[in-house]
Structure 1
Amino acid sequence: MPRYRRLTARGVVVRQPWEPRSCFYWLYAAVEPRSGETFYLEMPSLDAGCFSVFLREFGRCYRDSLNVLVLDNAAAHRARSVEVPENVVLLFLPAYSPEPSPVERLWRAIRARLDVFDERVRSQLEALRAHVAEIVRGLRAVEVSRLTRYDYILAALNAL
């Protein structure tokens, strides 16, 4: 959908179609640090609506358990319109401190593998999506567990 934006002299209204130059997609993920089990969902944007869809699908997939998700304070995570299933609990980290989140280390590992990706192909969204999907499929549970299991999380999980 084109947007209209243009600098003009005061009082002059000129409308010209403007198309964004970049396309995006978002990969949502949840990780179980002990087992390395992951749940991914690709979405068109990062907003409360898409996050609610992710939570609903996650809750459906793991309906027989109570699931605690550790999250940063992104606006999409904290929006009032977010619909949280009954079997999902959101645990927010302190503001401006995403580092303790287990999934952040997973994102770093995926990005590190993207850094060697050909920049010409990286600019093509479909090729990038295919490459990210290949990376995600190639991550073994042992590797994900090694990346995401912090001692404080394991202690909390063992206390349950």
Structure 2
Amino acid sequence: MCQEIALNTVGDFNSVNLYFQDESRFGLFTRNGKSVTAISVKPICTFQQVFKSTWLSRAFSPIIGDHFQLILPHYNADNFQVFFNNFSKENSKELKIMVLDNGRFHKAKKLIIPENIVLVFLPPYSPELNPAEKMWAKYKREFSNKFYNSLEDVEDFITNVVKATGKKEVMSICGYSYVLLDKIWTISYMRLV
């Protein structure tokens, strides 16, 4: 399927890559997570119930480990367009095949899809097919049981965890077998001729 997309796309591209995109909310509301304690000792952490948040939108390549992220104040079609525009400029000669879920703003009629991005939608209600979900699980574990005073602190956490995420880690976490078995990716980072 990806091979057909790459070959049927018109444009002057020198490479093609597969990305899985998703977005997640990170906020000031304390996220409870698991902790190790002595038997019958309840874990204690500082807690706040504040409903301010920011969004992280990311695209991960299980093929070569590239990843792109953008922190946004909220998520809607307009901000998804901002993500598209910035992602498109990153390695602009690369054809980006982006697999994503069926979020309402992912299919907004006012979106202008850049010529170097092709969208492929997952079947409805199938988050288990999106490797980006496993990246969120990793980030949310690190985010749990921590107190953040402001959204700037949350954004600092996001920036630090993103910086610490290497290409090999992305490939390891996002390298689902159904993705890596596709014939086009046997030549890891395909050159277009």
Normalised to the residue count of structure 2, the TM-score between the two structures is 0.66
In the TM superposition, what is the alpha-carbon distance from 1:155 to its structure 2 partner? 2.1
- Counterpart of 1:145 in 2: which secondary structure? helix
Corresponding residue for residue 43 of structure 1: 72
The one-character-per-residue Cα deviations of 1:21-78 (angstroms, maximum 9, x if unpaired) are 6322111111110221110111111111111111111111121121111101111111
**Structure 1 alignment gaps of length 5 or more:** 1-20
Normalised to the residue count of structure 1, the TM-score between the two structures is 0.79
Aligned partner of 2:180 among 137, 154, 157 = 154
Aligned partner of 1:65 among 94, 102, 113 = 94
In the TM superposition, what is the alpha-carbon distance from 1:82 to its structure 2 partner? 1.5
Q: Identify which of structures 1 and 2 has the higher relative contact order when contacts are C-alpha pairs closer than 8 Å and 6+ apart.
A: 2
- Counterpart of 2:181 in 1: which secondary structure? helix
Aligned partner of 1:80 among 81, 86, 109 = 109
- Counterpart of 1:82 in 2: which secondary structure? coil
Number of equivalences: 137
Counterparts of 1:38 and 1:86, CA distance in 2: 19
Which has more radius of gyration? 1
Counterparts of 2:71 and 2:150, CA distance in 1: 17
Question: Which protein is richer in helix relative to its size?
Answer: 1
- Counterpart of 1:99 in 2: which secondary structure? helix
Counterparts of 1:113 and 1:59, CA distance in 2: 29
* Contact 2:71–2:155 (Cα < 8 Å) also in 1: no
Establish whether residue 131 from structure 1 lines up as the match of residue 157 from structure 2.
yes
RMSD between aligned alpha carbons? Answer: 1.6
**Structure 2 alignment gaps of length 5 or more:** 1-49
In the TM superposition, what is the alpha-carbon distance from 1:133 to its structure 2 partner? 1.2
Counterparts of 2:119 and 2:58, CA distance in 1: 14
Percent identity at matched positions? 31
Counterparts of 1:144 and 1:78, CA distance in 2: 26
The one-character-per-residue Cα deviations of 1:56-105 (angstroms, maximum 9, x if unpaired) are 11111121121111101111111111221011011111111122112111
